[in-house]
């Protein structure tokens, strides 16, 4: 990414406004007016074909007439003039072009947008937009947009795909008291995308946290890479949860892979924290922009009221930070700052008698103690206490504790005096919320950030031998045959080439061959129809298990062929697969799709009703690290089944995770060939006993 150009876009020292106007109400007027009102200290060049002067500034007919250099050009002229303006900007050596104008790909006018990007590329100019509000920066006193004012100053930066929402959040920053240094409207992303802006903001000393409002994008892998590299917390609100392409999906996995699930997986893998809604985006942004990450699981809650204490305790469990009692020596010390009937365990209940002294003493001691990783301080407004004094007591104690790497969030429940005290806390760097569960949720975001960051940096490298050529050869043969799908036997050959353990499977063309193969494998065996046109073999009466002798092999051979013909008279039948009968194990499903945004993506779930009815599955963008694979196993609702239920031993989770990694490796390596695939079922055995893939399916990409 050309940083100079991006600095030209987000932190320009000189700005031309093309389409500048002296008529109030026009965007070309508003942008100039906003730049002046925001106190922009760099040069402003209004560009207008006829006006000699706009809002007291000398105007020019074209950027080419401006003598000084121009970092950024904001374009507000109608779409049809944009191409020639961008060309002029290129000639002038403008670094970044901010196209506010709409009427491009968002209304189907993709060609014009592409032409503009092509011209910009020729000149090395970067383009933000089109179809955007503009960009705003408090530290640069720059409102290069048609949003009415700069946001409440703060340390977060917001990148929004929706312009209207950006304007609304700009205004809401004041009522919500969540401060931003920068707001960036990203619009159609014809050139500069989320990844580019994340990279720039990562280098921006004024930004401590990056918030995203996302509707959807194409370059998923670039996004993952940029987010993974970012040294700052990123928090995303993704809208649009409807499944995409589900109807057309040929495999099970395809129909289960909704956009929301795959985005969610990508966020986890790149260390991006999710917000559940707009309020949550504000709440989490506030915490992440002001506080350090929470490095361990030990949360201390200090309160003056049992009710809010219990609500916070419930929330802690709900958000993945279940409370533990603090160590005995901490309890002994805390007991000194509360009446006899208080509780020093956790939540630490100072009781309604608590004044700012008790608060300060407990906060100071407990925060500094080595056991503590983070703290939530709660306060219920009482008649005896002054919220502002409590707030000041908390702030002073946090400072005196002298620890900079442990986060603190606060919740005051009360009236106007509590509101005022919380305002003061936020201004002094401590996130404060009007409900205990929100303060805990904000803390959970700080914990999630540290957990995910550790995961995101995990190595993805797999040191396994694969036989890519063998796999490609199988695929090549199927393609020569004019097929879009592999048979089970072929799919298993591909799986084997990537180190996935499958049941030994051979093709029999005649009854006699079937008998010979069954004897070679050893009874009992399983027999299945092999036809590229019958993908769901059981539905066609094409699967017979537990076949114990020669006579049964001969019977099964005939029955399966008869069933298959009855099911689909013109089906092209390769023969019957004879395979080793795997012992019983827990049935799970692995699968893959080629997601439109993120490319090869893995799915895991339990088999049977869990996947069919409950849709209890989870996703990761491939490749998948071992740690993420283990996380997949534990995050499905049916996870306890893998841990062993009703006296069963725990299942071999290590082998399962290993299989997920290998499978993911395969779909990345064969991304040009495989469109969708699944292993359904995979049988998982007791710990140390491994797994076995008993059915395999691969749908090829159309070429
Ligand atoms: P399909 O999914 O096309 O109907 P499968 O190959 O998955 O066919 O077979 C159906 C079921 O038969 C599987 O879900 C599994 O329970 C059982 N099965 C299939 N192959 C084997 C095998 N080799 N060993 C043990 N059980 C098997
Ligand atoms: Mg199956």
3-state SS assignment for residue 460 = coil
| Closest residue CA from atom 5 of ligand 1 | 695
Reply yes or no on whether the pLDDT at 614 is more than 80. Answer: no
| Closest residue CA from atom 6 of ligand 1 | 695
As its CATH architecture, domain 306-423 has: 3-Layer(aba) Sandwich (3.40)
3-state SS assignment for residue 96 = strand
Pocket test for ligand 1, best of 694, 697, 698, 699 (most atoms within 8 A of CB): 694
- Can you give the length of the chain in residues? 703
3-state SS assignment for residue 251 = coil
Task: Tell me the average pLDDT across 75-88.
Answer: 97
Task: Tell me the average pLDDT across 100-106.
Answer: 94
Q: For 226-278, what is each residue's pLDDT tens digit?
A: 999 999 999 999 987 655 443 444 455 556 666 778 999 999 999 999 999 99
In CATH terms, the fold of domain 468-480+492-580 is Dna Ligase; domain 1 (3.30.1490)
Provide the residues around ligand 2 (an ion) whose CB is within 5 A. Answer: 680, 695
**If you measure from the C-alpha of residue 22 to the centroid of ligand 2, how many angstroms do you get, rounded to a whole number?**
70
Q: How far apart are CA 673 and CA 659, in angstroms?
A: 20
Q: How far apart are CA 492 and CA 377, in angstroms?
A: 57
**Element (DSSP H or E) covering residue 181:** strand 180-185
Task: Tell me the average pLDDT across 161-173.
Answer: 96
**Beta-ladder partners of 603:** 591, 619
Q: For 271-300, what is each residue's pLDDT tens digit?
A: 999 999 999 999 999 999 999 999 999 999
CA of 697, closest atom in ligand 1: 3
Confidence at residue 259, expressed as pLDDT on a 0 to 100 scale = 73
Distances (CA, A) of 555 to 514, 548, 561, 608: 11, 11, 10, 28
Q: For 665-685, what is each residue's pLDDT tens digit?
A: 999 999 999 999 999 999 999
Indicate the range of 40-44, 244-248, 516-520 predicted with least confidence: 244-248
Indicate the range of 150-159, 273-282, 437-446, 459-468 predicted with least confidence: 459-468
| Closest residue CA from atom 15 of ligand 1 | 681
Confidence at residue 683, expressed as pLDDT on a 0 to 100 scale = 97
Reply yes or no on whether the pLDDT at 464 is more than 80. Answer: no
**If you measure from the C-alpha of residue 693 to the centroid of ligand 1, how many angstroms do you get, rounded to a whole number?**
9
Confidence at residue 453, expressed as pLDDT on a 0 to 100 scale = 86
- CATH assignment of 3-287, given 3.30.1330.60, 3.30.230.10, 3.40.50.261, 2.60.40.10? 3.40.50.261
**If you measure from the C-alpha of residue 255 to the centroid of ligand 1, how many angstroms do you get, rounded to a whole number?**
21
Looking at every residue in the chain, the average pLDDT score rounds to 93
Distances (CA, A) of 409 to 217, 293, 345, 363, 422: 33, 12, 19, 12, 11
Task: Tell me the average pLDDT across 410-417.
Answer: 97
| Closest residue CA from atom 21 of ligand 1 | 694
Pocket test for ligand 1, best of 590, 695, 696 (most atoms within 8 A of CB): 695
- CATH code of 586-700, in short, is 3.30.470.20
Domains 3-287 and 468-480+492-580 share a fold: no
At residue 508 the predicted structure's pLDDT band, cuts being 50, 70 and 90, is very high
Pocket test for ligand 1, best of 488, 542, 545 (most atoms within 8 A of CB): 545
Confidence at residue 241, expressed as pLDDT on a 0 to 100 scale = 62
* CB-defined site of ligand 1, < 6 Å: 503, 526, 528, 536-538, 543, 545, 579, 581-582, 680-681, 694-695
Reply yes or no on whether the pLDDT at 4 is more than 70. Answer: no
* Beta carbons within 10 angstroms of residue 317's beta carbon: 11
Reply yes or no on whether the pLDDT at 1 is more than 70. Answer: no
Task: Provide the residue ranges of all domains of the chain, joining segments of one domain with +.
Answer: 3-287, 306-423, 468-480+492-580, 586-700
**If you measure from the C-alpha of residue 539 to the centroid of ligand 2, how many angstroms do you get, rounded to a whole number?**
10
- Above pLDDT 90, what percent of the chain? 86
Q: How far apart are CA 194 and CA 536, in angstroms?
A: 41
Confidence at residue 254, expressed as pLDDT on a 0 to 100 scale = 58
Confidence at residue 239, expressed as pLDDT on a 0 to 100 scale = 86
**If you measure from the C-alpha of residue 504 to the centroid of ligand 1, how many angstroms do you get, rounded to a whole number?**
13
Task: Tell me the average pLDDT across 194-207.
Answer: 95
**If you measure from the C-alpha of residue 424 to the centroid of ligand 1, how many angstroms do you get, rounded to a whole number?**
65
Q: For 431-457, what is each residue's pLDDT tens digit?
A: 999 999 999 999 999 999 999 888 877
**If you measure from the C-alpha of residue 528 to the centroid of ligand 1, how many angstroms do you get, rounded to a whole number?**
8
Reply yes or no on whether the pLDDT at 5 is more than 80. Answer: no
CA of 581, closest atom in ligand 1: 24
DSSP label at residue 485: B
CA of 680, closest atom in ligand 1: 7
Pocket test for ligand 1, best of 490, 543, 582, 684 (most atoms within 8 A of CB): 543
Q: Counting ligands in written order, which one lies closest to the CA of residue 503?
A: 1
Q: Counting ligands in written order, which one lies closest to the CA of residue 581?
A: 1
**If you measure from the C-alpha of residue 401 to the centroid of ligand 1, how many angstroms do you get, rounded to a whole number?**
62
């Amino acid at each position: 990414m050309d940083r100079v150009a991006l600095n030209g876009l987000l932190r320009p020292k000189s700005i031309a406004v093309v389409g500048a106007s002296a008529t109030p109400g026009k965007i070309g007027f508003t942008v100039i007016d906003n730049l002046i009102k925001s106190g922009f200290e760099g040069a402003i060049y209004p560009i207008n074909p006829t006006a000699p002067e706009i809002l007291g500034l000398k105007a020019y007919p074209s950027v080419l007439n401006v003598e000084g250099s121009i970092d950024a050009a904001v374009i507000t002229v109608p779409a049809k003039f944009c191409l020639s303006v961008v060309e002029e900007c290129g000639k002038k050596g403008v670094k970044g072009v901010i196209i506010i104008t709409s009427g491009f790909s968002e209304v189907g006018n993709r060609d014009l947008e592409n032409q503009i990007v092509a011209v910009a590329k020729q000149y090395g100019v970067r383009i933000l937009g089109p179809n955007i509000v503009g960009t705003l920066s408090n530290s640069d006193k720059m409102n290069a947009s048609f949003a009415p004012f700069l946001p409440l100053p703060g340390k977060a930066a917001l990148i929004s795909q929706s312009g209207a929402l950006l304007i609304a959040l700009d205004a809401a920053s004041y009522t919500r008291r969540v401060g931003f240094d920068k707001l960036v409207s990203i619009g159609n992303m014809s050139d500069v995308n989320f990844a580019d802006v994340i990279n720039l903001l990562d280098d921006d000393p004024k930004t401590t946290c990056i918030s995203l409002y996302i509707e959807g994008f194409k370059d998923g892998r670039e996004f993952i890479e940029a987010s993974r590299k970012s040294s700052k917390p990123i928090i995303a609100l993704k809208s649009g949860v409807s499944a995409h392409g589900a109807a057309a999906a040929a495999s099970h996995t395809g129909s289960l892979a909704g956009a929301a699930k795959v985005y969610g997986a990508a966020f986890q893998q790149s260390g991006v924290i999710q917000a559940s809604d707009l309020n949550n985006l504000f709440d989490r942004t506030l915490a992440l922009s002001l506080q350090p990450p929470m490095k361990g699981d030990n949360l201390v809650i200090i309160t003056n009221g049992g009710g809010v204490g219990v609500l916070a305790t419930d929330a802690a469990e709900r958000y993945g930070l279940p409370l533990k009692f603090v160590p005995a020596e901490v309890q002994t010390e805390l007991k000194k700052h509360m009446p006899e009937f208080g509780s020093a365990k956790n939540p630490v209940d100072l009781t309604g008698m608590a004044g700012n002294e008790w608060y300060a003493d407990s906060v100071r001691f407990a925060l500094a103690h080595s056991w503590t990783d983070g703290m939530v301080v709660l306060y219920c407004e009482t008649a005896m206490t002054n919220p502002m004094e409590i707030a000041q007591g908390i702030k002073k104690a946090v400072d005196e504790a002298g620890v900079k790497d442990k986060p603190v969030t606060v919740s005051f429940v009360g009236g106007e005096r509590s509101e005022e005290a919380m305002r003061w806390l936020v201004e002094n760097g401590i996130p404060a919320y009007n409900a205990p569960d929100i303060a805990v949720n904000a803390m959970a975001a700080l914990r999630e950030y540290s957990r995910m960051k550790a995961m995101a940096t995990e190595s993805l490298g797999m040191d396994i031998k694969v036989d890519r050529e063998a796999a490609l050869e199988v695929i090549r043969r199927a393609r020569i045959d004019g097929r879009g799908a592999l048979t089970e036997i072929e799919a298993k050959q591909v799986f084997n080439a990537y180190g996935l353990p499958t049941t030994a499977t051979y093709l029999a063309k005649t009854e006699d061959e079937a008998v010979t193969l069954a004897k070679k494998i050893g009874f009992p065996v399983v027999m299945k129809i092999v036809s590229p046109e019958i993908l769901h073999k059981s539905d066609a009466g094409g699967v017979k298990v537990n076949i114990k002798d020669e006579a049964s092999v001969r019977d099964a051979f005939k029955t399966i062929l008869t069933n298959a013909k009855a099911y689909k008279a013109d089906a092209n039948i390769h023969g019957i697969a004879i395979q080793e009968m795997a012992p019983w194990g827990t049935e799970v499903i692995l699968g893959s799709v080629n997601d439109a945004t993120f490319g090869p993506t893995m799915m895991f779930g339990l088999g049977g009703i869990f996947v069919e009815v409950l849709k209890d599955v989870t996703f990761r963008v491939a490749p998948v690290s071992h740690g993420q694979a283990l996380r997949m196993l534990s995050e499905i609702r049916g996870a306890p089944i893998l841990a062993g239920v009703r006296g069963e031993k725990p299942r071999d989770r290590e082998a399962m995770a290993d299989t997920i990694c290998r499978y993911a490796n395969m779909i990345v390596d064969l991304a040009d060939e495989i469109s969708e695939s699944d292993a359904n079922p995979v049988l998982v055995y007791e710990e140390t006993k491994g797994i076995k893939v008993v059915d395999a399916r691969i749908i090829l990409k159309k070429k």
